[in-house]
Structure 1
Amino acid sequence: MKKVLAIILCTFAFSGNLIAQWQQSNGPYGGDIRALAVDTATNHLFAGLNHGGVYKSTDNGASWTMVNNGIEFNTVSTLAASDGKIFAGTYDNGVFISTDDGNSWTAINNGLTTYGKFVSSIVVYRDYIFAGTNDGVYFSSNNGSTWTSVNSGIPDNVLHVHSLLISGGILYASVAGGGINGGIYRSADNGRNWVEVNNGLSGNSLNVFSMATNGNMIFAATNGGIYTSTDNGGTWTEKSNLSTWSVAVNGSNIFAGTIGSGIYFSPDNGDTWTAVNDGIPAKYIGAFVISGNNIFAGTWDGGIFLSTNNGTNWTDANEGITGMAISSIVHSGDRIFAGGYGGVYTSTDQGNSWTIVNNGLLSTSVIPLAVSGSNIFAGTQNKGIFLSEDNGTSWTEVNNGLTSTDIRALNVKGDSILAGTNGGVFLSTDNGSNWVEKNNELSKVQVMSIATRDTCTFIGTTNGILLSTDNCNSWVDASGGLPSNTTVYAIVVSGDNVFAGTFGDGVYLSSNNGSSWTAVNNGLSDLQIMSLAVNEKGIFAGTYNGGVFVSTNNGSSWIAVNSGLLCKRVSSLMLGSNYVYAGTSAASVWTNDVGITGVREIKKSEISVFPNPAKETLFLRGIEPNAEISIYNIKGKLLFNKILTSNQVDISSLPRGLYAIKIVDKTGMRTGKFIKQ
């Protein structure tokens, strides 16, 4: 019994995090797709995402399910399937294998060096597996249980492998390193020895991102265009001059995924090309996979698209992929808007569903959003600011007077709109129709965040904080107490207090308009602050790897509020009337009802449960009628939720183990824990 009590006491912090449960919203759907593969044994599709792990489709892309057990939210840069085995190469955590259709993953890195765990390409040939890494090529003959470096003939200064290809039993590797584009190397003996095969490649075309084959013809997608070889790489011929990242071959039909220009199609092995972008708004194409008559294109800024007619038109195939990078969330009336690297999305049902609203946007890389009355402003990367007066149905460019169009922050105060850019601050007093530069020598910097209070305007930069007290006509340094060269991603105002979120140094507080700052990091396990939000109930901080933290005492202490939050990289926060919304860098939008129950209730006493341990029935003391009960396992997964009609709970179906319990009734929220025998 003493041992049981000790376990309960040691898990007190665990149950505290279950006060409020994060739920992933149904979108926005899509993501930054880095790899696609099909397992021909099952015809199941797999997609690898940037910071998003792996998704699987069993119905030709009609729907997708996250399959991250064991691989988590790694960046999956390459996928390969063979004989029921799926191999995933990640960017810094090596190679993973799944032998159960992606349902679970195991790391297989024995023999890989630190740089060898940065994996960009995997190919399977008979019983051999080859991995292209930042430390050259590795070879395995035992399904990845052990790896051996095979780089003889490849210079040490170009061991960064972009891609691998097997064609006619010959292995090809495209390499680079240290600013040098090394081109292509060939091995006829399973990687034991390599020779350079760059005749016809020069300049940008030596930067080869991917390769594909059709019979004796090899296609190389390069920064200088598409090149082909019909003599095992002996000579290369230019077929297109478009900067190309990915290439796929289906007979004589060739698909080229470009860097910024969408997809091009050739029906004649690359002799002629036509843009085929009907239905595919994304312009950066990271991967292809062909399954029967279906061609899937994975994009960096819009997810996956499907064509069944050789690219004549494309349809969205993202249902279930919640992998979008969300940089900003705002609300206007009963609508929520989310901006990110896919454009702007809106929801009218508290995030239960989302609709893309990009009509008129010249860039889908949206960083800040702001609301002024019924108007929505979207700041984009390198295309300036766009205005919507109809809830996102259409957008109009409003850049008159802007000399810097890389927009990092927007702030609305009354009739004034402030824009923070890579070139300082700009002000508009006519709804964005015109912008006036508001900079002195101090403020012509990269502005990351803006906040206002009374006559004070604070801007967070890549080197501290600047303050203006005269409508942005002049600026002074207000970084006293901040670490030098600190980047301030977020600033919020709460009464007389100003909070600054820095990247690497945590949260700082000023109670004197920025004259001095004090670190307030007690309880913060991640000091890389990406976002801040504040309301009357507390201050919320979104971090780079630690999820969400909340403080109810002006930053004197923080607690993690991460129960159920699978992706801990939180780039934006918005406090609605009913929910807290968290935009993540790789898992779209999450919601939490902590906004309803109130973070102050974190300190409420625990619910009394007995007996404890229990076998069949759990009894609860002191609950009100119609209380809501939720039971979670030790991993934070919600197992049980219902409205109680008595003080008894049947737990007979639960496995033996430790559980946390949450009760919500008219008195508020309480938590507890119990052991099922």
Structure 2
Amino acid sequence: MRGFKPDLHLFLPALALALAASPALAGVNWWTPVGPEGGTATSLVIDPATRILYAAANGSVFASSDGGTTWERRNRGLQDDVRRLAAASTPTPALYAASLREVYRSADGGASWTSTHVENLLLGGLDALAVDPSDSATILVGSLSRGEILRSTDGGANWSRVSQNLACGGIHSLQKGPEAATWYAGCASGQPTPFLKSTDAGATWTPAGSPLPQGGSHLQVVPDPGLGGVLYASAVLRWITRPEWAVYKTTDAGATWTFLTESSGPLVAGPAGQLFAGTLRSTDNGASWQPLGLPAAPGALAFDPAEPATYFAGLPAGIYRTTDDAATWSLHSRGLFATQVATLEIAPDSTLYAWVPGLGLRKKPAGATRWRRADNGLPLDAIAGTFPGPPALAIDPATPAHLFLGWSSGFARSADGGASWTTPGAADGPCLRIRELALDPRDPGRLYAAGWLFEASCLAPGRSCPVFFSEDGGASWTCAGDERLGYVTALVVDSSSQPSRLYATSLGEGLWTSADRGRTWRQLKGLRRFGDTLLTVTVDPRNPLQLYVGDLYGGLYKSTDRGATWAAFNRGLPRASVRNLLVDPQRPQTVYANSSGEGVYVSGNGGRTWFPLNGGLASSPGELLLDPRNPRKLYATTYRNGIYAHERR
């Protein structure tokens, strides 16, 4: 998230004084997380000395000092999204975190991080990280470049390239074997060499082993911690909607391989003959396998060195823990704000609905502290593969329990606030790739769906339709769009006129409006001199003559005559895509803008000047929404850390 500035600048001096007087109020003049909690961990490690559990989840580092029950984010000093973690305590405690381009070190349990500057030497992005458990100053990293391994023996102060240009592809895994000074590196390509081996603590490396019988890529090579010379390997055989692995075993240093099982997740070797592969577990070194008892394949697994029957697994809902050798599991995600929120809508009663990839649709009523499921009956797997974007959600303003959800090849509705869903059909079959859904406040029975039509066979030859409407809850649809609109990026219904007026922004075709509910459309050409690649449009709720639009290249423009003429209103805004615009309905001079990668900006004078409003915001937002009951309260979705709330006073 380079370029994002999580500092706090308020645009009114009086407001700045109020902030100084009461900075501790949660959510008041400061962004605070509200969930949903969870997020898949890509790496889990336990400090052997303190037994603190660390998780790298969706780019952030989290720590738990109570066995995974509660979590806190520890990102101070990190400049990139973290993917890998490693910890050792001998002779001194050290914690390492790797992003795609850098390795960071912490000597205080993750409270602060410093860069080791390995990026200055790297030829490719980092894909593997390991620390010598007997020497916390010895670190090894493997990159996506051909066979590149870098090594440091002083905690990252200095690095040397110890392997390069070997017939290995990128380095996908690094792990120390039970034999003294022996290390193994799994090759990403798997051909012609499945792994590299070092017998001098990683100082030099040589190709080793024969190719796996079925080939494959992204090899993990895992030594058995209790049996010298025994290795396990997993390789991705297929990657359709998700990777599928094959697991092998060798007892002769990789000369021959024995197939063990297929799996749906990463490979981990544990103590006393335990072997884990996706949702499967073996207690006899791979001779037989049983279900692990988890709802899905974990992204990471860790063992408690002091409690052999206790281990942890990272899944989209959070961290699962077992204390009885996988007989039972319990979910723990309190404080783990690491979800990606792709879609957010707020009902008139301030109930939040959030679409979270990997979790589905979640709901939090106003005043509630917990989120709950709201997706019973939805085809979650189909929605997960949406293109060109996340699913769109609309809420009936007259009947807030009526919800509508559209995605790339389908449409569903709920009459009970998400407790159950039905799928009456997609917009004109599977043709419309829905990006936007909007209800007409003057006529809530009229629902609009916008996006892009790919399959011409759905309509008459030579026709396409980027906007449809339905008057029967999505059971049937009628074209309401001019094919000249192209790919619609935003659709707004302005109910101040009778009938309601429509506005649609388009990639490459600018801004369009319809005064007759979509029967005819007119392009507002006053914007042409600024550009046609628009992402968002909003209407001043107090003055429908005033429009704001944001474009892909950092422009924000305002019209005071319903789109006939436009002026740039960019003073104080960074040159980054303007993804969302909001106007406070009670104080229309207050306008909010979401600048891609730069955060939230606010104007107190109708857009003439802008100031950042990012204090407490963990990562760059994806969407902004105002609470309909309290327009001073702002919600922001993030791609890394769930939803944040900010109440200005």
TM-score (structure 1 length as normaliser): 0.74
Distance 1:23 1:39 in 2: 31
- Check 1:195–1:463 CA distance in 2 against 1; reply closer, same or farther (3 A cut): farther
Task: Tell me by how many angstroms 1:22 deviates.
Answer: 1.8
User: Is 1:403 the equivalent of 2:430?
Assistant: yes
Distance 1:312 1:437 in 2: 55
Aligned twin of 1:149: 161
Distance 1:303 1:452 in 2: 38
**1:430-509 alignment to 2 at 5 Å?**
430-436=472-478, 441-442=483-484, 445=487, 447-453=488-494, 456-465=501-510, 467=512, 469=514, 471-472=517-518, 480-481=527-528, 486=533, 488=535, 490-494=536-540, 495-509=544-558
Task: Tell me by how many angstroms 1:102 deviates.
Answer: 2.0
Aligned twin of 1:80: 86
Distance 1:450 1:122 in 2: 49
Aligned twin of 2:46: 38
Structure 1 unaligned runs (5+)?
Answer: 1-10, 258-262, 598-677
Distance 2:10 2:502 in 1: 42
Aligned twin of 1:524: 573
Q: Aligned to 1:133, which of 115, 122, 143?
A: 143
- Check 1:110–1:434 CA distance in 2 against 1; reply closer, same or farther (3 A cut): same
Kindly indicate which of the two structures has a greater share of residues assigned to strand. Answer: 1
Aligned twin of 1:187: 198
**1:54-203 alignment to 2 at 5 Å?**
54-71=61-78, 74-83=80-89, 85-92=93-100, 94-109=102-117, 112-113=120-121, 115=123, 118=126, 120-124=128-132, 126-127=134-135, 128-135=138-145, 136-155=148-167, 160-167=170-177, 168=179, 169-176=181-188, 183-189=194-200, 190-195=202-207, 197-202=209-214
Please give the secondary structure, in 2, of the residue aligned with 1:150.
strand
Task: Tell me by how many angstroms 1:140 deviates.
Answer: 0.8
Contact 1:361 1:395 survives alignment (8 Å): yes
User: Is 1:228 the equivalent of 2:248?
Assistant: yes
Contact 2:151 2:159 survives alignment (8 Å): yes
Task: Tell me by how many angstroms 1:527 deviates.
Answer: 2.0
**1:350-369 alignment to 2 at 5 Å?**
350=367, 352-363=369-380, 365=384, 367-369=391-393
**1:210-229 alignment to 2 at 5 Å?**
211=222, 213-214=224-225, 215=227, 216-224=229-237, 225-229=245-249
Residues 401-426 of structure 1, C-alpha deviations (whole Å, 9 max, x = no match): 44158643322223222334464444
User: Is 1:208 the equivalent of 2:219?
Assistant: yes
Aligned twin of 1:321: 336
Distance 2:579 2:605 in 1: 20
**1:611-626 alignment to 2 at 5 Å?**
none
Distance 2:647 2:491 in 1: 27
**1:22-37 alignment to 2 at 5 Å?**
22-37=30-45
Q: Aligned to 2:617, which of 556, 565, 579?
A: 565
Structure 2 unaligned runs (5+)?
Answer: 1-8, 20-27, 238-244, 385-389, 454-465
- Check 1:268–1:499 CA distance in 2 against 1; reply closer, same or farther (3 A cut): farther
Contact 1:176 1:182 survives alignment (8 Å): no
Contact 1:375 1:391 survives alignment (8 Å): yes
Residue correspondences, number? 568
Contact 2:341 2:355 survives alignment (8 Å): yes
Distance 1:531 1:460 in 2: 12
- Check 1:418–1:270 CA distance in 2 against 1; reply closer, same or farther (3 A cut): farther
Contact 1:89 1:119 survives alignment (8 Å): no
- Check 1:196–1:564 CA distance in 2 against 1; reply closer, same or farther (3 A cut): same
**1:593-672 alignment to 2 at 5 Å?**
593-594=647-648, 597=649
Distance 2:346 2:34 in 1: 17
Residues 557-593 of structure 1, C-alpha deviations (whole Å, 9 max, x = no match): 2222223334343433333322222222222222222
Task: Tell me by how many angstroms 1:30 deviates.
Answer: 1.0
Q: Aligned to 2:601, which of 519, 527, 549?
A: 549
Residues 309-353 of structure 1, C-alpha deviations (whole Å, 9 max, x = no match): 555553321111112222323124242223332323322344644
Q: Aligned to 1:419, which of 426, 440, 449?
A: 449
- Check 1:517–1:363 CA distance in 2 against 1; reply closer, same or farther (3 A cut): farther
2:232 maps to a residue whose letter is F
Larger deviation, residues 39-48 vs 285-294: 285-294
Distance 1:307 1:535 in 2: 48
Please give the secondary structure, in 2, of the residue aligned with 1:22.
coil
Contact 1:388 1:394 survives alignment (8 Å): yes
Residues 158-204 of structure 1, C-alpha deviations (whole Å, 9 max, x = no match): 65432222224433323448x9998533334425233154522555x
- Check 1:434–1:378 CA distance in 2 against 1; reply closer, same or farther (3 A cut): same
**1:570-581 alignment to 2 at 5 Å?**
570-578=622-630, 579-581=633-635
Task: Tell me by how many angstroms 1:82 deviates.
Answer: 0.5
Q: Aligned to 1:305, which of 320, 343, 349?
A: 320
Identity percentage of aligned residues: 24
Aligned twin of 2:645: 591
Task: Tell me by how many angstroms 1:544 deviates.
Answer: 2.9
Aligned twin of 2:387: none
**1:338-349 alignment to 2 at 5 Å?**
338-341=354-357, 342-349=359-366
Please give the secondary structure, in 2, of the residue aligned with 1:415.
strand
Distance 1:482 1:549 in 2: 25
Please give the secondary structure, in 2, of the residue aligned with 1:30.
coil
Aligned twin of 1:664: none
Contact 1:25 1:353 survives alignment (8 Å): no
Task: Tell me by how many angstroms 1:44 deviates.
Answer: 1.1
Distance 1:477 1:115 in 2: 49
1:226 maps to a residue whose letter is A
- Check 1:77–1:478 CA distance in 2 against 1; reply closer, same or farther (3 A cut): farther
Contact 1:502 1:528 survives alignment (8 Å): yes
- Check 1:255–1:584 CA distance in 2 against 1; reply closer, same or farther (3 A cut): same
Distance 1:302 1:239 in 2: 29
Please give the secondary structure, in 1, of the residue aligned with 2:110.
coil
2:640 maps to a residue whose letter is A
Distance 2:214 2:340 in 1: 36
Larger deviation, residues 472-481 vs 167-176: 472-481
1:307 maps to a residue whose letter is T
- Check 1:516–1:412 CA distance in 2 against 1; reply closer, same or farther (3 A cut): same
